[in-house]
Amino acid sequence: MYKKDDLLFVPLGGSGEIGMNANLYHHRDSWLMVDLGISFPDESTPGIDVILPDLTFIEQRRDRLAGLVLTHGHEDHLGAIPYLWNRIQCPVYGSAFTLALLRRKLAESRFDHEIPLIELGMSAVEQIGAFGVELIGLSHSIPDPAALAIRTDAGVVLHTGDWKFDKTPMIGTDTDIERLAEIGKDGVLAMVGDSTNAMVEGRTGSEAEARNGLKKVIAQATGRVAVTCFASNVARIDSIVKAAQANDRSVAIVGRALNRAMSAAREVGYLRDMPDFIPEDDIELVPREHLVIICTGTQGEPRAAMARIAVGAHESVSLEAGDTVIYSSRQIPGNENAISKVQDMLIRRKIKLVTDEDAPVHVSGHPSRDEMVEMYGLVRPQIAIPVHGTARHLMAHASLAKSCQVAQTVIPDNGAMIRLNGRSAGDDGNYRAEIIDDVHTGALTHDGGQIIEVQSDMLRARRRMLWNGAVTASVVLNRSGVLCAVPTVSQTGISDQNAADDYIAAASIAIEDAIGMLGRGARRNDSSVEEVVSQAVRRVAKSMFGLRPIAHVHVIRVGHENVADDAEDLIA
C-alpha cells in the first residue's frame, strides 16, 4: 500500500492502448486526475458505441480528489466526462478552447449536473490540492493543447499530453520551447509522455505543409470538391477554407461536430477571418467548380456526412463522376474496413479520391522520433514514463528515452501504481521509480441510460447471441414430470430453412430423451428440467453446426399428479 508522502502516478486508461486516457497523481493524501477520455469499440464489442474507463479506484477516494485537469479537447481525453463526472464530482480545469468545447458537448448530451469549470491560462500556476499545476502551451491538432508541469514537494512531473513541434501551426502557437527548457533546467523528476509516433522516424510535418498540399489538390480539381477532416482540427478547417479561397471557391460546412468545434473556436478568438459560408440548403445553387464542402466522417462512420454522400443518400450534398473527395485525415487503427467501404463506393462512382498517401493533405498531431529526442533534451527528466500507446509504442518510446540518457524508464499497464519518489539504493541521491501495486481498472460502456461493464453478463450474452444464435424451447409437463405434448423449439441465427427444420426436429427428440432419462424427483423440479433441456438443445447445435447458442427454456406444468406415479410413490 502507498504512504501519505508518496508521489504516485496511476494510469487508469490509455497505457497499453490508444484512447480512454485517464491518469491519476497522488501526493500528501491528495489526488489529481489528468484527462478523462473515451475509446471507440471494435469488432470484439458489437452493439457498443463508446468505451469508458472504470474509475472504481478513485471513486472510493473521491473526497481526496482535488480536481480533474484536461490537457486538451480530444474525445480520448475528455469524452467520458458526460458519462462519469457524476462519479467523481470534482472541479474540472482546462484551457479556454478545451472548456468551450466541453461546455457544448455537455449541453448536447443534456447533462444535468452543474460542473465547476475553471479556465487556466498558459504559464500561470494553479494550486489544486497538493499540486501546483502549470499549463504549458503546445502545438497539436486542436486549439489550446497543453502539457502540465505538476509541482509537488517531492519533485516536478511533466505530463506532456499530446504534442508536436510546429513552427507554423496556422492557429495557435508552437510548443513553448523556452518554458520547457526553463522547467528542465530547474529539474524534472519524471516525464509522462505521448508515444503515438514513437515508431515514426524523422519529424512530423507542419500544418503549413497540409495547407499547401490542399491548395494544390484543389487547384487541380475540376468539379465539386468535398474534404473530410477531424471536426476539432480547427487549424485544418482554416487551411481548407484558405485553400478553397485561393482557388476561387466558396465553402459549405456539413456536419454537427464541425459546427460545434467552429463555434467553440470563435468564442475563444480563433477563426475570426472566415468568409460567409454557403448554407447547406443552397449548396445545389453554387456552380460545381466554385464549391468546396467540408464534412465529417473521416473514419467511415456510417451516420456521418461522408458515408451518406458516398452512397448518394445525403439530403443536401450530391457528388457525381469527376468530382473530388479529399481525406485530410489519418486512419485510426481498427477503422480501416469502415473507411475502405466508403472509399470503394466513391471509386465505383468514378469520384476522384485523394488521401494522404496520394498527396500531402494531412499531417499528424503527434511528435516523431526526432522531436521526441529534442523534447528529452529540453526537459531532461530522471524518469521517463511512456503512455498513450499500445505495448509496441510504449517499448519504442522507452528505448528512445534510454538513448537520450534518461536514467530510468517505467512502462506502465493500466492500473500500475508507480511510486516516483522511492529513495535510490545508490548514493547518487536520485529517486528510483517502482511499481508498488496494481489497482482495479476495466472498461465500461453506456447502454440504455446505464453505465455497465463491457464484460457484464448482459453484454456477454448479447455478443454470444450475435455469434452463436439463440434457441427457445418450451416443454409442457404434468406435475409428475411426464411430457404432455411434443416439445416446441424455435431458433434465431442458427441456421436457415431446411437445416433449421432438421435442427428443430433433432432438438425436440433430444429433449424428450433427456427428460425420459431424469429420475422421478428431478422431473418434478423445474430447474432440473430446465437444465437438461438447455443442455440438450445446445448439444445438438454444437454437433450439427459447431455453435454454442444462448438457450431459453420454459417449463409449463399442467394437470395433476400422475396417478400411476403416486401409486409407485406409495409403494416405495
Give the binding site for Zn ion (CB under 5 A): 74, 162
Nearest approach in angstroms of CB 196 to Zn ion is 8
Minimum CB separation from Zn ion for residue 193, in Å?
13
Residue in this structure with the C-alpha cell 517499448, named with its chain if needed = 395
Helix, strand and coil content of the chain, in percent to the nearest 5, comes to 35, 25, 40
- Residue 162 C-beta: closest distance to Zn ion, Å: 4
Residue closer to Zn ion by CB (options 37, 549) is 37
- Phi-psi category of 176—alpha, beta or left, where left has phi over 0 and alpha has psi -120 to 50? beta
Smallest distance, Zn ion to C-beta of residue 205, A:
17
Nearest alpha carbon to residue 385 among 394, 376, 372: 394
Burial 41-62 (b: 16+ CB within 10 A, else e): beeebeebebbbbbbebbeeee
**Cβ neighbours of residue 448 closer than 8 Å, sequence gap 6 or more:** none
User: Quick one: 162 or 356, whose CB is closer to Zn ion?
Assistant: 162
Taking the complex as a whole, the smallest distance from the CB of residue 58 to Zn ion amounts, in Å, to 22
Burial 526-559 (b: 16+ CB within 10 A, else e): bebbbebbbebbbebbeeebebebbbebebeeee
Q: Which is nearer to Zn ion, 74 or 105 (CB)?
A: 74
Q: Toward Zn ion, which CB reaches closer, 74 or 249? A: 74
Rounded to a whole number of angstroms, the minimum distance from the CB of residue 140 to Zn ion is: 6
Burial 369-405 (b: 16+ CB within 10 A, else e): bebbebbbebbbbbbbbbbbbeeebbbbbbebbeebe
Residue number, 140 or 524, with CB nearest to Zn ion: 140
**DSSP track, 12-68:** EESBSBSS--EEEEEETTEEEEEEE--B---TTSTT---EEE--HHHHTTGGGEEEE
Report in angstroms how near the CB of residue 71 gets to Zn ion at its nearest: 8
DSSP label at residue 491: E
Nearer to Zn ion, 162 or 166 (CB): 162
Spacing of C-alpha 354 from chain mean position: 26
DSSP 493: S
Select 138 or 293, whichever has its Cβ closest to Zn ion: 138
Using the minimum distance from each CB to Zn ion, give the nearer residue, 233 or 562: 233
CB count, 10 Å around CB of 125? 13
Q: Which three cell numbers stand for residue 474?
A: 418450451
Residue 80 beta carbon to Zn ion: minimum distance, rounded to whole angstroms: 14
Q: How far is the CB of 37 from Zn ion (least distance, A)?
A: 9
Closest separation in Å from C-beta 230 to Zn ion: 10
Residues 6+ apart with CB under 8 A from 69: 32, 33, 34, 35, 92, 93, 94, 120, 128, 133, 148
Query: What is the grid cell recorded at 517?
Result: 432419462
For residue 446, list its beta bridge partners. Answer: 451
Nearer to Zn ion, 75 or 356 (CB): 75
Q: Which is nearer to Zn ion, 74 or 362 (CB)?
A: 74
Counts for the chain of helices (H) and strands (E), in that order? 17, 26
Helix (H, G, I), strand (E, B) or coil at 437: strand
| Minimum distance of Zn ion from residue 200's CB (angstroms) | 16
Closer residue to Zn ion in complex, CB, 17/162: 162
Residue 39 beta carbon to Zn ion: minimum distance, rounded to whole angstroms: 13
Nearer to Zn ion, 144 or 162 (CB): 162
Minimum Å gap between C-beta 307 and Zn ion is: 23
Q: 134 or 162: whose CB is closer to Zn ion?
A: 162
Helix (H, G, I), strand (E, B) or coil at 225: strand
What would the grid cell of residue 519 be? 429420475
Q: Determine the angle formed by the axes of helices 256-267 and 96-108, rounding to 10 degrees.
A: 140
Smallest distance from the beta carbon of 74 to Zn ion, in angstroms? 4
Q: How far apart are the first and last CA of the chain?
A: 63
557 bridge partner residues: 477
Report the alpha-carbon distance of residue 33 to residue 133 in Å, rounded: 12
The owner of cell 522531436 is 371
Using the minimum distance from each CB to Zn ion, give the nearer residue, 20 or 494: 20
